[in-house]
Protein backbone atom coordinates (compact mmCIF):
# COMPACT_ATOMS: atom_id res chain seq x y z
CA UNK A 1 0.00 0.00 0.00
CA UNK A 2 1.65 3.19 1.18
CA UNK A 3 5.07 4.40 0.18
CA UNK A 4 7.94 4.43 2.70
CA UNK A 5 7.82 6.75 5.71
CA UNK A 6 8.74 10.29 4.75
CA UNK A 7 8.26 13.91 5.89
CA UNK A 8 9.16 16.29 3.04
CA UNK A 9 11.29 19.31 3.91
CA UNK A 10 9.11 21.77 1.96
CA UNK A 11 6.06 21.23 4.23
CA UNK A 12 5.06 22.64 7.60
CA UNK A 13 3.60 20.32 10.24
CA UNK A 14 1.03 20.35 13.03
CA UNK A 15 1.46 18.11 16.08
CA UNK A 16 -1.87 16.39 15.32
CA UNK A 17 -0.15 14.86 12.26
CA UNK A 18 -1.32 17.26 9.58
CA UNK A 19 0.80 19.04 6.99
CA UNK A 20 0.48 22.31 5.08
CA UNK A 21 2.11 23.30 1.81
CA UNK A 22 2.03 27.10 1.99
CA UNK A 23 2.14 29.16 -1.21
CA UNK A 24 1.61 32.88 -0.63
CA UNK A 25 -1.75 33.36 1.06
CA UNK A 26 -2.93 29.87 0.07
CA UNK A 27 -2.13 26.44 1.48
CA UNK A 28 -2.82 22.83 0.57
CA UNK A 29 -3.50 20.59 3.60
CA UNK A 30 -3.32 16.87 4.23
CA UNK A 31 -2.43 14.22 6.79
CA UNK A 32 1.09 12.91 7.31
CA UNK A 33 2.55 9.51 6.57
CA UNK A 34 2.44 8.80 10.31
CA UNK A 35 -1.29 9.57 10.49
CA UNK A 36 -2.29 7.39 7.54
CA UNK A 37 -0.08 4.54 8.79
CA UNK A 38 -1.62 4.68 12.26
CA UNK A 39 -5.14 4.62 10.82
CA UNK A 40 -4.59 1.91 8.23
CA UNK A 41 -6.28 1.81 4.85
CA UNK A 42 -8.70 4.70 4.56
CA UNK A 43 -12.16 3.86 3.27
CA UNK A 44 -13.97 7.16 3.82
CA UNK A 45 -13.14 10.87 3.75
CA UNK A 46 -15.94 12.92 5.31
CA UNK A 47 -15.03 16.16 3.57
CA UNK A 48 -16.03 19.71 4.46
CA UNK A 49 -17.78 21.89 1.88
CA UNK A 50 -15.95 24.36 -0.34
CA UNK A 51 -16.60 27.85 1.00
CA UNK A 52 -16.53 26.64 4.60
CA UNK A 53 -14.00 27.91 7.09
CA UNK A 54 -11.24 26.25 9.06
CA UNK A 55 -10.13 27.32 12.52
CA UNK A 56 -6.57 26.44 13.50
CA UNK A 57 -6.36 23.44 15.87
CA UNK A 58 -10.04 22.56 15.31
CA UNK A 59 -11.36 19.49 13.44
CA UNK A 60 -12.58 20.23 9.91
CA UNK A 61 -13.05 16.73 8.44
CA UNK A 62 -12.97 13.03 9.32
CA UNK A 63 -11.06 10.14 7.85
CA UNK A 64 -12.11 6.56 8.50
CA UNK A 65 -10.43 3.20 8.18
CA UNK A 66 -12.23 -0.12 8.45
CA UNK A 67 -11.65 -0.07 12.20
CA UNK A 68 -11.64 3.56 13.27
CA UNK A 69 -12.63 7.15 12.63
CA UNK A 70 -10.34 10.11 13.24
CA UNK A 71 -10.79 13.86 13.17
CA UNK A 72 -8.61 15.84 10.82
CA UNK A 73 -7.27 18.93 12.60
CA UNK A 74 -6.74 22.24 10.80
CA UNK A 75 -3.06 23.27 11.03
CA UNK A 76 -4.03 26.79 9.88
CA UNK A 77 -7.13 28.96 9.72
CA UNK A 78 -8.69 29.75 6.38
CA UNK A 79 -11.50 29.54 3.86
CA UNK A 80 -11.86 26.34 1.82
CA UNK A 81 -11.27 26.96 -1.87
CA UNK A 82 -11.24 23.38 -3.07
CA UNK A 83 -11.78 19.86 -1.76
CA UNK A 84 -9.86 16.96 -3.31
CA UNK A 85 -12.58 14.93 -5.03
CA UNK A 86 -10.14 12.07 -5.63
CA UNK A 87 -9.69 11.68 -1.86
CA UNK A 88 -13.48 11.40 -1.56
CA UNK A 89 -13.92 8.95 -4.42
CA UNK A 90 -10.79 6.91 -3.68
CA UNK A 91 -9.78 7.47 -0.03
CA UNK A 92 -6.94 4.94 -0.38
CA UNK A 93 -5.16 7.67 -2.38
CA UNK A 94 -4.35 9.26 0.98
CA UNK A 95 -2.47 6.09 1.97
CA UNK A 96 -0.76 5.73 -1.38
CA UNK A 97 0.40 9.33 -1.75
CA UNK A 98 -0.27 11.39 1.40
CA UNK A 99 1.69 14.46 0.22
CA UNK A 100 0.68 14.34 -3.45
CA UNK A 101 -2.57 13.01 -4.91
CA UNK A 102 -3.82 12.37 -1.38
CA UNK A 103 -4.08 16.02 -0.35
CA UNK A 104 -7.39 16.95 1.29
CA UNK A 105 -8.24 20.66 0.91
CA UNK A 106 -6.85 23.88 -0.50
CA UNK A 107 -7.50 27.01 1.59
CA UNK A 108 -7.01 30.77 1.56
CA UNK A 109 -5.25 31.72 4.79
CA UNK A 110 -7.05 34.15 7.07
CA UNK A 111 -3.98 34.69 9.23
CA UNK A 112 -0.68 33.95 7.43
CA UNK A 113 1.23 34.70 10.64
CA UNK A 114 0.00 31.32 11.98
CA UNK A 115 2.45 29.56 9.63
CA UNK A 116 5.38 30.56 11.82
CA UNK A 117 3.91 28.50 14.67
CA UNK A 118 4.01 25.21 12.76
CA UNK A 119 6.89 22.72 12.91
CA UNK A 120 9.43 22.23 10.17
CA UNK A 121 10.21 18.70 8.98
CA UNK A 122 13.05 18.14 11.46
CA UNK A 123 10.94 19.21 14.42
CA UNK A 124 8.06 17.02 13.23
CA UNK A 125 10.35 14.00 12.78
CA UNK A 126 11.46 14.45 16.37
CA UNK A 127 7.79 14.71 17.43
CA UNK A 128 6.92 11.48 15.59
CA UNK A 129 9.86 9.62 17.14
CA UNK A 130 8.38 10.35 20.58
CA UNK A 131 4.96 8.88 19.71
Partner 1 sequence: MDAAVADLRRTPLYERHLGAGARMVPFAGWEMPVSYDGVIAEHLAVRSTWGVFDVSHMGQLHVEGPNATELLQSLLSNDLGRLTDGDAQYTLLTNERGGVVDDLIAYRITVHHYLLVVNAGNRAAAFAWIKEREIRGSEVRDASDDYALLAAQGPESIARLGLADAPTFTHTMAELDGVEVMVCRTGYTGEPGVELMCAAEDATLLWDAVVGRGARPCGLGARDTLRLEVCYPLHGNDIDETTDAISAGLGWTCALDKNFTGAPALRRIRQEGPARRLVAFVMEDKAIPRQGMSIDDSGDVTSGTHSPSLDVGIGLGYVPVASAVPGEQLTIDVRGKPRRARVVKKPIYSREDS
Site residues for partner 1 per CB under 8 A: 1, 40-41, 43-44, 46, 62, 64-67, 69
Among 50, 58, 49, smallest CA distance to 76 is for 58
Q: Are 94 and 65 in contact (CB under 8 A)?
A: no
Nearer to partner 1, 4 or 67 (CB): 67
d(CA 91, CA 118): 26
Shortest spacing between CB 24 and partner 1, in angstroms: 33
Nearer to partner 1, 43 or 55 (CB): 43
**Per-residue DSSP letter, 115:** G
- Residue 126: CB atoms within 10 A of its CB come to 10
Residue 8 CA, chain-centre distance (Å), reads 13
Shortest spacing between CB 60 and partner 1, in angstroms: 14
CA torsion 90-92-93-95 (nearest 10°) is 160
Shortest spacing between CB 39 and partner 1, in angstroms: 11
Nearer to partner 1, 41 or 79 (CB): 41
Nearer to partner 1, 1 or 116 (CB): 1
Shortest spacing between CB 40 and partner 1, in angstroms: 6
Amino acid sequence: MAQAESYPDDLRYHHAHDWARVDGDEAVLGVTWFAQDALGELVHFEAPSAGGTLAKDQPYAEVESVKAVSDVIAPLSGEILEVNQKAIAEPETVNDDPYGDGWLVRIRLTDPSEVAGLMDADAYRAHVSEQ
